[in-house]
Amino acid sequence: MKRRIGDRMVHPVGLGCMNIMHAYGPPADEGEAKALLVRALDIGCDFLDTATIYGLGRSEALIGEALGARRKEYFLASKCVLGFRDRERVLDGRPEAIKAACEASLKRLQTDVIDLYYLHRPDHKVPIEESAGAMADLIKEGKIRYYGLSEMGEEQLRRAHAVHPVAALQSEYSLWVRNPEIAVLEACRELGVALVAFSPVGRGFLADPPADPASFHATDMRRSMFPRFSDENYAGNLPLLDTARVVAAEAGCRVAQLAIAWTMAMGDHVLPIPGTRNIAHLEENHAAAGVRLTAEQVARLNAAFSPERAVGPRYSPAGQASVTTEMFDFEKRQHGG
């Protein structure tokens, strides 16, 4: 059942640690967040994914505080380039910045090595080869074991891989967001790179009940960065869930579990990392690894969620400008391309 990253085998469903301290409203209660992290290890969730920017370092620190004594029990991923300085977001892919960020992350995480360290976003001012070279140096120094890329396309993947082998490419991938299928899903398979699928539950859309935009906190990024949740688009997306509910009932699982299982069915090299603050949801997500979909069910879901049926762009213009993931032609038209 386990899946490979580098030469390590991990449970196929990891835990994304962004929304514990970041993105979807105010930070979680820290005691509850630590209890969630402990419970993750207790049920066998051994792949934790965080980043420097999440909570301006607080997500990393919570992992260190809650799980530092159990460090050998989990595969730890974090990210650099997208960071902070004086509590302001910065984007810096220079080698010296990457190495400084790694040192700071190691301290917050209370560890001497990060298993998987990503370039969180492309820095258009720095050639990817220079940033990849810094990662190679960190591997030689024993401070990270593997490196990866996040929200980048096939060209940057191949360029970075030519400098030093990339272990994982992280990208948003779900029934609702099919962009990896344009190029990187197959490129990762070809190169032996794990595709780590973040937001496999569609930022809450692919849940039962689905996320309710009317309930979002004023600081929730879904209010501004993800147009599919806007008043003019959201209602048009809800009919997509009809087929998902039918197939979930057939498979004997919840819709969120179905969504996670679908990402796993897209290839043995795909590892979903759903995020949650809720222990019951954590346990359900973890159990999704046991959901088996037939080829006919996968085909029905693929047809129901064909990319052009999603209403609204994946990202706002500013969000789209921050990534180099491939777009479908209809998305290029949405963004004026």
- According to the model, what pLDDT value does residue 337 have? 63
CA trace torsion 176, 266, 159, 168 (10° rounding) = 100
pLDDT per residue over 273-327, tens digit each? 999 999 999 999 999 999 999 999 999 999 999 999 999 999 999 999 999 999 9
Specify if 253 maps to a domain: no
Please report, for the domain that includes residue 72, its CATH number. Answer: 3.20.20.100
Q: What is the pLDDT of residues 209-252, one digit of tens each?
A: 999 999 999 999 999 999 999 999 999 999 999 999 999 999 99
> Which pLDDT band, with edges at 50, 70 and 90, does 332 fall under?
confident
Q: Is the pLDDT of residue 21 over 90?
A: no
Give the CA count within 13 Å in the CB-facing half-sphere of 312.
Answer: 20
Q: Angle at Cα 60 formed by Cα 54 and Cα 63, nearest 5°?
A: 130
**pLDDT for position 151:** 98
In a domain, 67, yes or no: yes
In this model, does residue 90 exceed pLDDT 80?
yes
Domain-located, residue 323:
no
Count how many residues are written for the chain: 337
Per-residue pLDDT of 181-201, as tens digits, reads 999 999 999 999 999 999 999
Q: Is residue 144 part of a domain?
A: yes
Q: Which of 54, 117, 146, 147 is catalytic?
A: 54
pLDDT digits 0-9 by tens, 46-82: 999 999 999 999 999 999 999 999 999 999 999 999 9
pLDDT band at 23 (very low <50, low <70, confident <90, very high): confident
Q: Dump pLDDT digits (tens) for 122-165.
A: 999 999 999 999 999 999 999 999 999 999 999 999 999 999 99
pLDDT bin (cut points 50, 70, 90) of residue 86 is confident
CA separation, residue 216 to residues 17, 23, 56, 122 (Å): 19, 11, 21, 29
Q: C-alpha 289: how far from its chain's center?
A: 17
Residue 331 lies in a domain: no
Whole-model pTM: value is 0.97
Q: Is residue 177 part of a domain?
A: yes
Q: Is residue 318 part of a domain?
A: no
Domain assignment present for 330: no
CA gap 329, 306 in Å, rounded: 13
Q: Is 24 labeled as catalytic in the residue annotation? A: no
Name the domain count of the chain: 1
Range of the domain at 97: 3-204+258-290
